[in-house]
Amino acid sequence: MAMSCQTDRLSSLPDELLVTLLSFLPTEVAARTSGLSHRFRHLWKAIPSLRLICRRNQEDKFISMADNALLRRHPSHPLLSLCLKFCYYCNASLLDSYIPSLLAKAVSLGLRHLAVKGYLDLLPILPSIFSIDSLESLSLASRFYYSTRPSLIFPSGFTLTCLRSLSLQLYDVEPASLNQLVSELCSLEDLSLENYDIDMDIISLSSRTVKTLKLILYCSGLNTLGLFLPSLESLHLDTYGSFSSLFHIHGQFPLLKRAFIMLDEVQGEDVNAVSKLLNSLGHVEELTLHVEESEYVKYPEPILLQPGKDLLKFPNLKHLDVVLCFHEHNFEAIIMMLHNCPVLESVKLVHKIPMFTGEPSERRRKDWRSKLPRNADGNYLYAYFRNLHLGEDKKEFMKLLGKKCSSKRHAKS
């Protein structure tokens, strides 16, 4: 059989389209296409998105790549996005002079999106970063930490009037400086904050413009959480570690519609903080709640609602998704909560079997079994109900759950 003639379709594409395709490749890979042909020799230098990586013992290679891709870039080739990643602690001289020169060049080319990540001290380059008025998004992620260095303080007097998205993953940030930064960004809509500092005792955020917030907290020492965000519509909150020390939770977000809450290593002593947190979300229409109980708890305890305290009320809640261990206390707390959700439309409850590594010898597995009603598949691991806004469906749903609770209480009596 004769071989069919193969056409070089790639070479037939216009330069503009080839540059767009190359922009989806890592910069190091895109640079290798310069050896394909004379035409490809300089195409990669025009890609609008650069990702420059400085690896351990390869600073010279990083500088060479940055020189060719950025510093010698022709002014007719705009740069929209720049990512600088440092895989190991880099030389201080690189931060003092070279990185600021890269940023200055990127600004002259119309930089809009900047990400700086890795093992580096951000303090020397923060003034250069916060002077880029054209930025629309900024991501800073640093694992640099010296116990002798003072807490990180953000520059003041910046403008950044175009910045709409901010992501921070940092150690040891001065809380007042963080709040000032967020409050002064007049166009900020999307905020993501990951707190690496387990010793930070207070987090307070206020902004009139933020609509989406993602907050990841290592809250072993956290005692105050304040969120004053009147435009907030969506909240994603992850916590790690016991937050029984969280005595003060203040929240003002009347427009909040969606909340995703993930709580890790929760135990009975955290119930007060959990109750306060859930009560602050009373206006949501969609609530997703994932709770992982601590593996070291000896026996089931109330973790969602303190006995004898005010019930959780969600007058606007339409969709509820809960993943946790539905032992007796958790199950009855959810039942009481459902009775205070008058416009509920759908419910998804999934039983999460606790981890038993490090299990105390007196811990009995039967105490942690699901108390959910048996579903159509014949098991007690999940319950899913839709169309609860229709009277008969909701009545049947409450009848099933109520019967289970009643039988449990009757058995106890």
Whole-number pLDDT of residue 403:
59
Q: Which of 213, 220, 264 is nearest to 239 (CA)?
A: 264
- pTM of the full structure: 0.86
In the prediction, which pLDDT does 1 show?
45
Instruction: State residue 407's pLDDT score.
Output: 39
Instruction: Tell me which amino acid residue 395 is.
Output: K
Distance CA 364, CA 274 (A): 25
Q: What is the pLDDT of residue 129?
A: 93
Residue 195, phi then psi, degrees to nearest 5: -100, 110
Query: Residue 308 has which token pair?
Result: 């004898």
Cα separation, 344 vs 387, in Å, equals 9
Please give the C-alpha separations between residue 259 and each of 24, 237, 287, in angstroms, as whole numbers. 33, 8, 5
Residues 6+ apart with CB under 8 A from 312: 275, 278, 279, 282, 304, 305, 333, 336, 337, 340
Residue 88's pLDDT is: 78
Distance between CA atoms of 197 and 170, rounded to whole angstroms?
Answer: 8
Collect all residues with Cβ–Cβ distance below 8 Å to 112 and sequence separation of at least 6.
Answer: 80, 81, 134, 135, 136, 137, 162
Over the chain, what HEC string results?
Answer: CCCCCCCCCCCCCCHHHHHHHHCCCCHHHHHHHHHCCCCCCCHHHHCCEEEEEECCCCHHHHHHHHHHHHHCCCCCCCCCEEEEEECCCCCHHHHHHHHHHHHHHHHHCCCCEEEEEECCCCCCCHHHHCCCCCCCEEEEEECCCCCCCCCECCCCCCCCCCCCEEEEEECCECHHHHHHHHHHCCCCCEEEEEECCCCCCEEEEECCCCCEEEEEEECCCCCEEEEECCCCCEEEEEEECCCCCCCEEEEECCCCCEEEEEEEEECHHHHHHHHHHHHCCCCCCEEEEEEEECCCCCCCCCCCCCCCCCCCCCCCCCEEEEEECCCHHHHHHHHHHHCCCCCCCEEEEEECCCCCCCCCCCCCHHHHCCCCCCCCCCCCCEEEECCCCCHHHHHHHHHHHHHHHHHHHHHHC
User: Please, what are the averages of pLDDT over each run of 10 residues along the chain (413 residues)?
Assistant: 57 78 80 76 84 86 89 89 86 79 94 92 88 95 71 84 94 86 94 77 89 86 85 92 70 91 87 87 94 83 80 91 92 88 91 68 74 86 86 70 51 37
Taking the chain, what is the end-to-end CA distance rounded to the nearest angstrom? 86
pLDDT the model gives residue 117: 92
Q: What is the pLDDT of residue 109?
A: 93
Query: What pLDDT is stored for residue 28 in this prediction?
Result: 80
Look-up: residue for tokens 């539905």? 326
User: Would you mind telling me the total number of residues written for the chain in this entry?
Assistant: 413
The contacts of residue 83 (CB under 8 Å, 6+ apart) are: 49, 50, 51, 52, 114, 115, 116, 117
> Are the CB atoms for 182 and 210 separated by under 8 Å?
yes
What per-residue confidence (pLDDT) applies to 12? 73
pLDDT score, position 408: 43
Cβ proximity of 187 and 209 under 8 Å: yes
Q: What letters, b where the CB count within 10 A reaches 16 and e where it falls short, cover 328-350?
A: bbbbbbbeebbeebeebbebebb
Beta bridge partners of 84: 52, 116
Q: How far is CA 294 from CA 139, 237, 278, 298, in A?
A: 32, 18, 19, 9
